[in-house]
Amino acid sequence: MGRLNVTLCGIELENPVIPASGTFGYGYEYADLYDINMLGTFSFKGTTKEPRFGNPTPRIAECYCGMINAVGLQNPGVEKVISEELPKLAKCFNKKVMANVGGFSVDEYVYTAKKIDECEQVGWIEVNISCPNVHGGGIAFGTNPENAALITKAVKAAVKKPVIVKLSPNVTDIVAIAKACEEAGADAISLINTMLGMRIDLRTKKPVIANKMGGFSGPAIFPVALRMVYQVANAVDIPVIGMGGVSSAEDVIEMMLAGATAVQVGAANLIDPCVCKDIIEKLPQVMDKYGINNLNEIIGGVK
């Protein structure tokens, strides 16, 4: 293993840098810019059972040190992802990819995860439990330990590939939810998803985005994400993938010191499509600067 290599749920990665779901499309869109095989892997666009147009526009708003989005899981549905998107990816990416799965009922999560599980290209299934439960009053599955465990257990029972549960920060006790997912069989935890934010147009005196509120991401949320990664990594015995405001090699190392085995880069991809390439290339220099010989030595280094 090289000094950047890490192992995630039994699969070795050349480095810990992973573009986050929703910020890297299905991967091939970036392949004209650089060789995406240099990535550890990436998490492709959130996929649901049925095609989704997403939320009404406008659904993106800029803000200081970040952005707000309410895209609403726009995707062509799992059948077309498998028949159209993954074959395109196979032409330019020769590693296992991470599949991000969403749903609005337990049955939808299970259906989509089972379909994705059959794909040879997929190495991990990342389950986004920030989706609203349509049979439970619209409350997101990830807002309480019981519902989070319910989804985790159902998906885990339906698939063979490692299950990574992606947690929302919009909760009172993220540790309790992470532990519930671990006890229900999760192979890893990824966090944090976007925080809840809002912007108002002073001219119209109305919310900037049609959904009024949306997911706040970008450098401004990094300290919150780091804190939650640290808390969860010290509470569970399964790997943690850290994300939230990561935009530099230094941020990656900080996340790993907090306990992350791998690190996802989200909003920064929308600002600079080559940011992950730059982070990977700069990691050895930053490691040398801080006397780090191997990234595995620093995982959870802060207690």
Give the catalytic positions in this structure.
131
Structure tokens at 183: 């006890």
Angle at 294 between CA 174 and CA 230, to 5 degrees: 15
CA dihedral 230, 232, 234, 236 (to 10 degrees): -150
Please give the backbone phi and psi of residue 105, each rounded to the nearest 5 degrees, phi first. Answer: -160, 165
Contact residues for 208 (Cβ-Cβ < 8 A; gap 6+)? 58, 61, 68, 199, 200, 201
**Residue 25, SS3?**
coil
- Separation of alpha carbons 183 and 211, rounded Å: 35
Given CA atoms 50, 55, 60, 66 in this order, what sign does their dihedral have? negative
DSSP3 helix / strand / coil % (the chain, rounded to 5):
35, 20, 45
- Cα–Cα distances (Å) from 186 to 157, 189, 272, in that order, read 10, 7, 32
Helix H or strand E segment including 196: strand 195-198
